[in-house]
Amino acid sequence: MDGNKHYVCCFCDTFIEPSNGDPCEVDILINFDKPKNKQSNQSFYCHINCFKNQLHEQIKSYFYLECLVECEDSID
Ligand SMILES: [Zn+2]
């Protein structure tokens, strides 16, 4: 990642200030279950909280990345 680049969140369309966990890259791979030659991928950027807020309430319980970010901070 280029530290001088500015990223815009794909969910809220605002600039992402580098901070605890941000910016995030969301990679989408279409035809995930198909052969590689049928697949294609694209990356988007977002705030970690915007991504999490888009998840269904039941899926949010599986989201653990914030814990990793908090753990990294506690090491510093
Ligand atoms: Zn956002």
Q: What is the pLDDT of residues 7-46, one digit of tens each?
A: 999 999 999 999 888 999 999 999 999 999 999 999 999 9
| pLDDT surpassing 70 at residue 69 | no
Average pLDDT over residues 53-76: 77
Question: How far does residue 54's CA lie from ligand 1's centre (Å)?
Answer: 10
Contact at 8 Å (CB) between 46 and 11?
yes
Residues 6+ apart with CB under 8 A from 25: 1, 43, 44, 45
Question: How far does residue 21's CA lie from ligand 1's centre (Å)?
Answer: 12
User: What's the whole-number average pLDDT of the chain?
Assistant: 87
In degrees, to the nearest 5, what angle opens at C-alpha 32 toward C-alphas 15 and 47? 15
Question: How far does residue 46's CA lie from ligand 1's centre (Å)?
Answer: 5
Question: How far does residue 69's CA lie from ligand 1's centre (Å)?
Answer: 17
Cα distance between residue 61 and residue 74, in whole Å: 22
Question: How far does residue 75's CA lie from ligand 1's centre (Å)?
Answer: 26
Question: How far does residue 63's CA lie from ligand 1's centre (Å)?
Answer: 17
